[in-house]
Amino acid sequence: MDVGQYLQRIGYAGPHVPGLDTLRALHRRHIESVPFENLDIHSQRPIVLDEAAFFDKLIRQRRGGFCYELNGLFAALLRKLGFQVTYLSGRVSSDGVQDNGPEFDHLLLEVTWDGSWLVDVGFGDAFADPLPLIPGQWASQGKMFRLEQRGGDWALSQEQPEGTWRLLYVFSRVPRRLEEFSEMCLYHQTSPDSFFRKNRLCTRKTATGRVTLSGQRLIITEAGLRRVRILEMEEDVEQALLEHFGIPRGVLNNSSWPPS
């Protein structure tokens, strides 16, 4: 773990002393700098649960990743800076209503510093700031989130534009080990039923919205305005990855085109 190289990668120049302001700033810089992406799955490059591999890919190669990689490496950074961090297992809702996801479907973090905080830099378009692990409704950059206790579990929901609530995932606060996520990490790479095998995806929060590559579509949202461009050629996709995500050319060399 090279803390200086990591912080340079995410553009963080603030204090290294652990505290809530540091945690919030690191969380925000991470999701605006390191994209959520599944390009290796579509290029048939194995993803293994190893902090050194995470660091090489996300920091040295300037790539992104999915939850196991993003939150796995972010946990290592936070621990190095002096935070107490626990891996938690999340079960992602497939329909936004039911708790129907398998255990270890999602890796998220509990960070302890002046209370307990839900930290997640690996769930695509979710909360921008750590949420207090207290039942209630919490705002994060104009979006509302709700945390509920359901017996021994917790449920995270997000308010929709029409005023309804969509269940994102359910999790327990039982401490987990990174290797416990290995089976689901392999499932998401190899099973035809895996969400991550259905479409090539790369997405990153920006200061004014979000930029997403989904299949052949480049979607840019700025200040609530959404623009969509169809990328006809693979070279156009590589240019979009370089321009909007900083991902170097050549990452798609082993992928099929057009994406399935």
Active-site residues, by number, are: 67, 106, 120
Q: Which tokens sit at 130?
A: 């750590």
Q: 209 Cβ partners below 8 Å, 6+ apart?
A: 220, 221, 222, 223, 224
* DSSP code at position 20: H
Q: 119 Cβ partners below 8 Å, 6+ apart?
A: 23, 27, 71, 74, 78, 85, 108, 109, 110, 111, 130
Q: Do 26 and 10 meet the contact criterion of CB atoms below 8 Å apart?
A: yes
Instruction: Give the C-alpha separation, 216 to 106, whole Å.
Output: 26
Q: At what angle do helices 20-33 and 67-81 cross, to 10 degrees?
A: 150
The single residue listed with the structure tokens 């479409």 is 199
